[in-house]
Amino acid sequence: MANLKTVSKKSKAQSMGMHTEVLTGRTQQKFFNPDEAENFYYFGTYDVDFNKRTDLDVKDMTAAEANKEIDNLMSHGYGTIVIKNPQGKHSLGVGILNKLNLIFEGSLGYFGIGSCDGPIVRINGRVGWSCAENLMAGKVVIEKNAGSCFGAAIRGGDLICKGSVGARTGIDMKGGTIIIGGDAGAFTGFMMQRGRIIILGDVGINLGDSMYDGTIFVGGEIGSYGSDAVDAELTASDQDWLKRKLKVAEIGENFDVSKMKKIVAGKKLWNYDNLEPTEKKGAI
Amino acid sequence: MCGIAGLIHRGKSSNVGSELQGMLQALKHRGEDSTGYALYGDTDGKNFIMRFKVGENVGEGSSSVMEDVSVYDERKKVVDQTLAEMGAKVVKEERTLPYSLRYEIDYNTKDLLDFSQRIESIPGVEILSMGKSLEVIKDLGNAKMVCDRYSLDKVVGTHAIGHARMATESGVDIKSAHPFWGYPFSDVSVVHNGQLTNYWNNRRVLENKGMRFMSECDSELIAVYLAEKMRDGATLEEGMKESLTGLDGVFTYFVATKDSLGMAKDTMAAKPLVLYESDDLVAMGSEEIAIRSVLPQEIDTYDPFDGEVKVWQI
């Protein structure tokens, strides 16, 4: 191994296995470098006008047809799209890498709003399994209940369910915030690696099982703790943050956050470094 | 993967054959190796309805061995003879397909064990269901194909459960298709989505207690497990609650009796279920699109939680 006291910062980082990679993607705005601005865009995104609004009835469309039409409308500058009659169809509103106001007048099936980066989505109904999986940025609000694997592997953004959610909410999440107005099922926060989950109601068994990092806040009763999930002190700054988030989420604004429980990883299972590569460089 | 669906009308009857067909057809992407219906039709309750098979569907995709139709005729003759010996009078006979039959039987007994054992001692014969309201119809293909083949769209009744199967644990044949009759209990049926990992251990124990298995499909264990619990005096709901710890693996299952419909979900909630409940209708399925086939308007649905058991009466 190189002598870390004498080599340059770059060599030092490489010697420690940290490469000088250039991060891309808008969710990494914290590390945005203006000199590389031309690298920060997605191919196929559109300039849209939020005041340009249209309705799209998907009753007789397949999910693929509906998603293609949403893309087509964005390409014509529509910034607010209201989807009528989703009727529990799967995989609606997926892969949107654009600023967009997307409103669903009804319920979605599985995998709704998957792999999105940027849109603000409101669902005036319920969602099935794996809603907003891999969300990178944006805001998704569900007015009713949600199925299992809600917000699986999200990396950023705010994901809000005003009702109750099924099992494994926030499984494998790597960032962002999930807020639940009602109850949550078993294995909430299973193997989460970063980010925050707020549950105002009760939560099922094995909360935060095998979590690497991140924080879970629970307002109600906890069925049981998972492996390596432990209590932590709820600080004043936690409470301030919770109040702000609940207000922005249009949910539980008057909720007494001082009585919430805070659960974190005990870090007995994993020796996990939660820093971004760029943060690691700064830490050297 | 498999998909399950069920509905119960409370306080009224409806066209459950057509409704369940729509629900299962909406789930056909979850598996169309075989589809099965357990329909609880409106009957006068006087006679038993026995659905049974004397052979397998050996069509495309089947894992069964082809037999000559004359073998089916021979088996049917032996069944008729055995019924006559037991004093069971066949009031009405329908032979929808060469291997699939429906008998209405005038037979006065509360113990179907001896009756079933004698019928099923005939090689190649299996009772698919026995009851005064229940009829189990299952065959290869998707929901519409089976519904058309057996003219199920006109069946009127109070409740029904069904299954769209992707065969993973056993063969593509009728004997491994769901629903399973809760042998030897009248009017009990089960459908299951998931995988049971202590199937063989449980099967050995139950067989030693005299219970009967017809297939090697792990889902059949649920029907047998519940039947054994009820035989020992437990209520259906008590048996279902015990199953949450007695059965290992991942599962969501429905069980129906003459006047009730229940659901149970394993303690890890690993298998999906969406539920709609109102004063006059409960509808549930592996995916919301199944419910939407009978309730296209905007409705409130939810996922039952882990380890949840619910039972509804008609």
Q: Which domains does chain A have, with CATH numbers?
A: 44-267 (2.160.20.60)
Q: Which residue in the set B267, B288, B307 is minimally distant from A107, CB to CB?
A: B288
Contact list, B302 vs chain A (CB under 8 Å): 126, 145, 163-164
The per-residue pLDDT for range A86-134, each reduced to its tens digit, is: 999 999 999 999 999 999 999 999 999 999 999 999 999 999 999 999 9
Nearest C-alpha neighbor of A124 from the set B275, B282, B299, B288: B299
Q: Which residue in the set B269, B296, B302 is minimally distant from A186, CB to CB?
A: B269
Taking residues A40-45, report their average pLDDT: 72
Nearest C-alpha neighbor of B2 from the set B202, B176, B243, B230: B176
Q: Which residue in the set A89, A163, A164 is minimally distant from B289, CB to CB?
A: A89
User: ipTM for the complex?
Assistant: 0.79
Gap from B299 CA to chain A (nearest CA, Å): 8
Among A8-22, A26-40, A122-136, B25-39, which is the least confidently predicted range?
A8-22
Q: Do B288 and A129 touch (CB under 8 A)?
A: no
Give dist(CA B191, CA B162) in Å, integer. Answer: 7
Test the A interface: residue of B193, B298, B300 with most A CBs within 10 Å? B298
Taking residues B128-144, report their average pLDDT: 95
Test the B interface: residue of A130, A202, A205 with most B CBs within 10 Å? A205
- Annotation marks residue B217 as catalytic: no
- Burial label for B56, CB within 10 Å (0-12, 13-18, 19+), is buried
Percent of chain B whose predicted confidence (pLDDT) is above 70: 100
Contact list, B277 vs chain A (CB under 8 Å): none
Tell me, what's the pLDDT at A274?
57
Q: Do A125 and B298 touch (CB under 8 A)?
A: yes
Q: Which domains does chain B have, with CATH numbers?
A: 3-313 (3.60.20.10)
- What's the order of all strands across the beta sheet hosting A194-199? A49-57, A78-84, A101-105, A117-123, A137-142, A158-161, A174-180, A194-199, A215-218, A261-265, A229-232
Q: Do A147 and B306 touch (CB under 8 A)?
A: no
